A and B are shown apart, each in its own frame.
Chain A
Amino acid sequence: MDLHVDAVSVHHLTASGTVRALDGVTLSVPAGTSVAVVGPSGGGKSTLLGLLGGLDVPTAGSVRVGAEVISSFTDRQRAAFRRSKVGFVYQNDNLLPFLTVVENLALQRALVRDHRPGPDPLQLLARLGLADHADRVPDQLSGGQRQRVAIARAVVPEPGLLLADEPTGALDPRNAAVVVDLLLEVRQHLGATLVMATHDRTAASRMDRLVELRDGRVDADPAVPRAG
């Protein structure tokens, strides 16, 4: 899925005044590309990912994902968009704590209501080396294991867009490398577009492209050399 962000601004009203989370950002990402969004905290990375995933709506401008201008969607349309076309991965796994590992995946599968064939949750877990942990609840897993389950959950709907917000932020370098590998592998397998917000320069360097956001604006959009 290609992404087109056109002159997007997101303003929040707070007690201390208006905060410009994004201020006139324009960005285009071709389908199947992996993009690292970097920049200091508060620069607007998560907000941009929220817009791309249909969690937020812009104050101004438009967001198009594939053929759909999601910035003009209703709540219901955005929910339908998220459940079948977007996979989210966060620094915090955000797995539902009262569901077992396999149920977390099964819920996402159940949410995809178009009955298209998709990966079987148990097979997916087996591929991630988590088959033995299928019936455990997230609190019984390590941080790295939980993050892998979170990626598996994001993959279940076979989305065209993978959004990862600081996915390695809480992991040690080895587990962080595993997670980035996994994300890139999944991206390649699905042919999806991957947008990853990160402070991790190593992880960023493995993306096709790097976008730097500072104070809500695109500070630079340098092409990055592929790692290795």
Chain B
Amino acid sequence: MRIRRCPVLASYVWRDLVRNPRRSIATLTGITLGVGLFSAVLFFIDGSSASMTQRAVQPLPIDIQRMLTAPLGGRLQLGQSTDVRGPVAEGQRVTVRLELVNGTAAAANEVVLRSEPPDEFAYVAGSATVRGVPVEDGLVDNPFARGAARTGLNLGTVEPGATVRVSYEVQARVPVTPADGLGLRTSFSSREVVTPVPANAPEPLGPDELATRISRIAGVASADPLSFVDVPGPAVSAGPVAATGSVRVFAFDAGYQRRYDDIDLVDGVLRPGAALLSLEAADALGVEVGDGVDLALPGAAGPLRLEVSGTADLRRAKALFYSRQGRHLEEFLYSPYSVVIDPATFEDSVVPALLASSAVLGGERNGPVREVDIRVERSRLDADPGTALEQTTRIAAAVAEVAPGQDYLVDNVSNTLTVAREDAAVAKRMFVFLGVPGGMLAAVLAGYAGAVLASAQRREQAILRVRGAGARHLTTMLAIRSGALTAAGAVVGLAVGLLSAVAVLGVEAVSRAAVPSLLFSGLVGAGGGFLAAGYALYAAGRAAIRREIDADRARLFSRPPLWWRARLDLVALLCVGLLAGLAVRADAFAGTPGSVYEARGVGLNLWLLALPLGAWVAGALLAGRVFARAVAVLPAGPSFGHVTAGIVGRSLRRRSWIAAQGMIVICLVVGAVTSVTVFTASYDEAKAADARFTLGSDLKVAPDPTTSRTLDGGFADELRTVDGIAAATPVVYGVENSVVRSTRNQDVANVAAVDPATFLDVAALRDENFVGTTAAEALTALADDPGGVLLSAEMAEFVSVAPGDRVRVLFAQGTDVQALSEMRVAGLFDRLPAFPDGADAMVNIAHQARVVPSTLPDFFLARTVDRRPSTLAAAVTDLTGRTGADGRVAVETRETTLAKDQSSLAALNIRGLLTLDAGYGLAMAVVAIGIFVFGLLLQRRREYVTMRAQGLQSAEIRTVIVAEAGTVGLAACVAGIAVGLAMAVFLVGVLRPLFVLAPDLVVPVPGILTLVLALLGSTLVSSSAASSLVGRLKPTELLRDE
């Protein structure tokens, strides 16, 4: 082929494309949809990723906290010295002296001292002493750095003001000119000071200086000191009026108040030397701005007199009231009576009083919390959680390096981003996998369109050959045609993909994505689509060029395609079966559920996605084989019978491969759409069931944490009178509220106390939640035996008991009203609804009330009369309308729980991805039918015209086309639905870790019916259009031409 001929050939191809618009558009549409779906998935990932960091960090009230370990000043200090004054000769001994001083007001427990000489020195066996007493060291090992782990020596408790002196000797192995400190590695840690503090550490900084230094670190937006202490009530008063209950005294400045904007200033200002009162405190005391209040502090000689400079609504101030305890960081522990003062007043008046109190035996031991709250520059965090995590980790490390050893660091933002990074990584991999069918469909549709196109062009190619065109000319033209069509399809597909991603995610989300990332996705989407679709189109055409026309026609009737001959469908099916068997044996579908508490994302075995993909391809091919076999036995012979039925039957029978080819393509599309539709419905249903299970029932009602209201058991009766509520039940529950003991073991436990009869009626219990029994049987056993306890299987194993055994339960452990009760194990359960932390035991509420009479329900569960959202909304409206400001209750519903869950990273994105897949799949199904029907028309127009010449009516020809296309379409629908269901079973299995409860497969009949109707409607419309085109063909010309 000479290059100079290319323009001629290109010109011919261009005219061919323009003058055969239907062929060109059909092919172009197929490619566009395929590339569109693939690109849309990639853009979708970009858009979703772009909001992942922001979405992950958005709920965090404080990014990083530095918590002072000695909030009242002073600290444990470790001094270190040696008797070296110059160079050390080989074999010379050196004495090391360590002095640990507890300068705090509290005892230091489990103090561990580590000290290790450098390699040039060896520990002198038997030389160690603590408090002047030799340490048993086995005469070999350094007791301050024992074993491979270099374990230190536990000094036990060091009382306030106490000093512990330690010494040991080292011997130089070689001559040494030591630097300061001999190069010893010495540090200590304690139960209170987890991070090892090096010897001779510098003097601790005050919170203000610490905050100032931290705020200079790049990436830190702000660093503000915050102190608070809970003072037992009545601690605040205004004249004769005192607020009952404890008071939380906060110390922060106006900058902190501005930065943490959920501190809502209602009136006045926060002014140095004055007090800002919570609304509840101001209300209880009846004070306004300008009035005075007295703050009674333990250890203080007299009350601290403060002017009220303002009032604030602190009910949403998460930064102030989120728990500082590691396991319950997201628990909102509201204290209605709060007084805010400035840091200087806190330092000058509150700290001395607390110090004085703590110094007195039996004095107030509830020390203050003093911390520096740090906000990182969130806007500068990378959109990708992984990169953002690297940024925040660097910031946290820099923060930790500022005056180390006096505190510990709580890196909330990095913890959150760790989970987000894992979720995002899993989500991205999963999206690519779920996008793979789109890419495959693009290639399949392009290949199919190419095959149809090539078949229709046989005659034109034959004419070109007659006129002197060689195989290379035809190949070049094919390459130009394939290139032009796929390039146009890729460009349009890219635009369509971007628009659909915008439609699903919104402009804002997509525009937040980094431009290089979008460009890369565009390149991969368009480039990948161009290569895959282009190759498929070219390969199909090239095969047609290589074959002689007669051989090609003969092939249609006699020679099955390669996959049939190689039995690839059966081989693939066998592989899928084997893989599924292996997965079940290895319990691979279980995956790992995500846990924010354990900083762990959802763990999915993504290799399992080979199962739905394998089932998809193998199922479609097998369906094609079955279809070809079925139509091969249709009646034939000289007895023709009904004309159109006879024509259709014989056409399908003798060209079963053509029909099967079309059927397989449509089956692939229908299978993909069905699987997505079924998975979407199953996903929605499972998430709704999860939400109800997590909440416990349809509604959960608890006292508002911002009020002091308590609810007794009688509130359940009140709930039952609420519109739409059918039943309600009280629940007593708390994390680590009890201890379960057996004769062999004991453990702290989260114990729930319920009324068995109403709990059974109201709670979202499932029989599979119980071991060897049903929910009804288990709850009935609890009702029949009030001294019975249901234990979690895990707890039962830990304390080594079985149903029927006796255990002792310490209720309300750690409180003044704790009480021990002998109980019998009435049954076991795996998990229970309503307790996201995981209940370890369940008892009869009547029994707990007998053991601990002051027991009050922590919350109530309520079941609505039906599952309609309107009923739920009506119940909430009625409930909130009944309770005034004084009697506020916190109401959660299954819908709010679901909304919370759906805002998580993976959940939101999966929903959007499924929408994309379903939309494109439906469009592809319609296009596939269109390509099939118009392909038939292109290939068979001479046949149809011959039939007209023979006397077939137009309606009969239409019937022939509709019947043949309809048979293929219907068979593809049936097979595609079956294949899609199999895919959905695997998809639901693979994505099982996304759900709390084992999801059921939900088949949305209306959705599938819509797909079937759309396909059959598309068949009817395109067949009618095709037969209309047949009517417009010029028969004399077509019948005459060779």
What separation, in Å, do the CA atoms of A128 and B1013 have in the docked complex? 50
Check B950 against A108 for contact (C-beta < 8 Å): yes
Check A80 against B640 for contact (C-beta < 8 Å): no
Q: B1024 near A: Cβ within 8 Å? A: no
Q: Given the interface contacts A107-B643, A107-B646, A107-B647, does A122 sit within 8 Å of B638 by beta carbon?
A: yes
Residues in A with CB closer than 8 Å to B1006 are none
Q: A23 near B: Cβ within 8 Å? A: no
What separation, in Å, do the CA atoms of A24 and B379 have in the docked complex? 84
What separation, in Å, do the CA atoms of A90 and B501 have in the docked complex? 56
Taking a contact as CB atoms closer than 8 A, the residue among A88, A106, A137 that contacts B949 in the complex is A88
Check A92 against B1042 for contact (C-beta < 8 Å): yes
Check B949 against A94 for contact (C-beta < 8 Å): yes
Q: Given the interface contacts A79-B953, A97-B943, does A110 sit within 8 Å of B1039 by beta carbon?
A: no
Check B1037 against A107 for contact (C-beta < 8 Å): no
Q: B650 near A: Cβ within 8 Å? A: yes
Check B640 against A109 for contact (C-beta < 8 Å): yes
Residues in A with CB closer than 8 Å to B647 are 96, 107
User: Distance (Å) between the CB of B513 and the closest chain A CB?
Assistant: 48
Residues in B with CB closer than 8 Å to A47 are 1036
Q: A165 near B: Cβ within 8 Å? A: yes
Interface residues of A in 55-78 (CB under 8 A from B): 55-56, 75-76
Check A96 against B947 for contact (C-beta < 8 Å): yes
What separation, in Å, do the CA atoms of A53 and B641 have in the docked complex? 26
Q: A158 near B: Cβ within 8 Å? A: no
What separation, in Å, do the CA atoms of A184 and B879 have in the docked complex? 99
Residues in A with CB closer than 8 Å to B952 are 79, 83, 111
What separation, in Å, do the CA atoms of A55 and B640 have in the docked complex? 25
User: Distance (Å) between the CB of B297 and the closest chain A CB?
Assistant: 100
What separation, in Å, do the CA atoms of A106 and B952 have in the docked complex? 14
Check B640 against A106 for contact (C-beta < 8 Å): yes
Residues in B with CB closer than 8 Å to A88 are 949-950, 1039
10 contacting pairs across A/B (C-beta < 8 A): A47-B1036, A56-B1035, A94-B946, A94-B949, A95-B946, A98-B557, A98-B650, A99-B654, A106-B638, A170-B1042
Q: A49 near B: Cβ within 8 Å? A: yes
Check B1040 against A96 for contact (C-beta < 8 Å): no
What separation, in Å, do the CA atoms of A105 and B557 have in the docked complex? 20
What separation, in Å, do the CA atoms of A106 and B639 have in the docked complex? 7
**Which residue of the partner chain B has the closest CB to A100?**
B636
**Which residue of the partner chain B has the closest CB to A49?**
B1036
Residues in B with CB closer than 8 Å to A122 are 638
Question: Please, how many residues of chain B have a CB less than 8 angstroms from a CB on the other chain?
Answer: 38
**Which residue of the partner chain B has the closest CB to A10?**
B1036
Check A103 against B637 for contact (C-beta < 8 Å): yes
A-B interface, 7 closest residue pairs, ranked by CB to CB distance from nearest = A83-B951, A50-B1036, A110-B640, A98-B654, A82-B951, A106-B640, A102-B638
**Which residue of the partner chain A has the closest CB to B954?**
A75
Residues in B with CB closer than 8 Å to A95 are 946
User: Distance (Å) between the CB of B474 and the closest chain A CB?
Assistant: 23
Q: A9 near B: Cβ within 8 Å? A: no
What separation, in Å, do the CA atoms of A103 and B640 have in the docked complex? 7
Q: Given the interface contacts A107-B640, A107-B950, does A50 sit within 8 Å of B1035 by beta carbon?
A: yes
Taking a contact as CB atoms closer than 8 A, the residue among A56, A102, A137 that contacts B557 in the complex is A137
User: Distance (Å) between the CB of A170 and the closest chain B CB?
Assistant: 7
User: Distance (Å) between the CB of A211 and the closest chain B CB?
Assistant: 17
What separation, in Å, do the CA atoms of A13 and B583 have in the docked complex? 68
Taking a contact as CB atoms closer than 8 A, the residue among B636, B942, B954, B1031 that contacts A103 in the complex is B636
What separation, in Å, do the CA atoms of A137 and B639 have in the docked complex? 16
Q: B587 near A: Cβ within 8 Å? A: no
Residues in A with CB closer than 8 Å to B640 are 103, 106-107, 109-110
**Which residue of the partner chain A has the closest CB to B641?**
A110
Interface residues of B in 643-689 (CB under 8 A from A): 643, 646-647, 650-651, 653-655
User: Distance (Å) between the CB of B553 and the closest chain A CB?
Assistant: 5
Question: Which B positions have Cβ atoms within 8 angstroms of A?
Answer: 550, 553-554, 557, 636-641, 643, 646-647, 650-651, 653-655, 942-943, 946-954, 1031, 1034-1037, 1039-1042
Residues in B with CB closer than 8 Å to A96 are 647, 943, 946-947
What separation, in Å, do the CA atoms of A105 and B639 have in the docked complex? 10
Residues in A with CB closer than 8 Å to B638 are 102-103, 105-106, 121-122, 134
Check B1039 against A111 for contact (C-beta < 8 Å): no
**Which residue of the partner chain B has the closest CB to A47?**
B1036
What separation, in Å, do the CA atoms of A76 and B1031 have in the docked complex? 12
**Which residue of the partner chain B has the closest CB to A140?**
B554
What separation, in Å, do the CA atoms of A82 and B956 have in the docked complex? 14
What separation, in Å, do the CA atoms of A82 and B655 have in the docked complex? 28
- Produce 1/0 per residue, A27-64, CB < 8 A to B: 00000000000000000001101100101100000000
Check A165 against B643 for contact (C-beta < 8 Å): no
Check A137 against B654 for contact (C-beta < 8 Å): yes
Residues in B with CB closer than 8 Å to A100 are 636
Q: Given the interface contacts A90-B1040, A94-B942, does A139 sit within 8 Å of B557 by beta carbon?
A: yes
**Which residue of the partner chain A has the closest CB to B553?**
A139
Check A98 against B949 for contact (C-beta < 8 Å): no
Q: Given the interface contacts A82-B949, A96-B943, does A55 sit within 8 Å of B1035 by beta carbon?
A: yes
What separation, in Å, do the CA atoms of A34 and B149 have in the docked complex? 114
What separation, in Å, do the CA atoms of A84 and B557 have in the docked complex? 31
Check B949 against A55 for contact (C-beta < 8 Å): yes
What separation, in Å, do the CA atoms of A191 and B964 have in the docked complex? 39
Check A94 against B1042 for contact (C-beta < 8 Å): no
Give 13 new A-B contacts, CB below 8 A, not counting A79-B951, A165-B1036: A76-B953, A82-B949, A82-B950, A88-B1039, A92-B1040, A94-B942, A94-B1039, A98-B557, A99-B650, A100-B636, A102-B638, A103-B637, A137-B654
Taking a contact as CB atoms closer than 8 A, the residue among A79, A91, A110, A137 that contacts B646 in the complex is A110
Residues in A with CB closer than 8 Å to B554 are 139
Check A139 against B550 for contact (C-beta < 8 Å): yes
User: Distance (Å) between the CB of A182 and the closest chain B CB?
Assistant: 19
Check A79 against B948 for contact (C-beta < 8 Å): yes
What separation, in Å, do the CA atoms of A47 and B1042 have in the docked complex? 17
Residues in A with CB closer than 8 Å to B949 are 53, 55, 82, 88, 94
Q: A212 near B: Cβ within 8 Å? A: no
**Which residue of the partner chain B has the closest CB to A138?**
B553
**Which residue of the partner chain A has the closest CB to B639?**
A106
Residue in A47, A103, A121, A153 whose Cβ sees the most chain B Cβ within 10 Å: A103
Residues in B with CB closer than 8 Å to A56 are 1034-1036
What separation, in Å, do the CA atoms of A139 and B552 have in the docked complex? 11
Interface residues of A in 101-121 (CB under 8 A from B): 102-103, 105-111, 121
Residues in B with CB closer than 8 Å to A134 are 638
Check A165 against B1040 for contact (C-beta < 8 Å): yes
Check A46 against B1037 for contact (C-beta < 8 Å): yes
User: Distance (Å) between the CB of B1027 and the closest chain A CB?
Assistant: 13
What separation, in Å, do the CA atoms of A47 and B1039 have in the docked complex? 11
User: Distance (Å) between the CB of A134 and the closest chain B CB?
Assistant: 8
Residue in A91, A97, A108, A109 whose Cβ sees the most chain B Cβ within 10 Å: A97
Residues in A with CB closer than 8 Å to B1037 are 46
**Which residue of the partner chain A has the closest CB to B550?**
A139
Taking a contact as CB atoms closer than 8 A, the residue among B637, B950, B1035, B1040 that contacts A83 in the complex is B950
What separation, in Å, do the CA atoms of A99 and B636 have in the docked complex? 9
User: Distance (Å) between the CB of A216 and the closest chain B CB?
Assistant: 14
Check A111 against B950 for contact (C-beta < 8 Å): yes
Residues in B with CB closer than 8 Å to A137 are 557, 654
Check B553 against A97 for contact (C-beta < 8 Å): yes
Residues in A with CB closer than 8 Å to B651 are 98
What separation, in Å, do the CA atoms of A102 and B550 have in the docked complex? 21
Residues in B with CB closer than 8 Å to A121 are 638
Residues in B with CB closer than 8 Å to A46 are 1036-1037, 1040
Q: Given the interface contacts A50-B1036, A99-B650, A139-B554, does A79 sit within 8 Å of B954 by beta carbon?
A: yes
Residue in B554, B655, B943, B1040 whose Cβ sees the most chain A Cβ within 10 Å: B1040
Residues in A with CB closer than 8 Å to B643 are 107, 110-111
What separation, in Å, do the CA atoms of A59 and B646 have in the docked complex? 36
Residues in B with CB closer than 8 Å to A81 are 951
What separation, in Å, do the CA atoms of A92 and B949 have in the docked complex? 14
Interface residues of A in 169-196 (CB under 8 A from B): 170
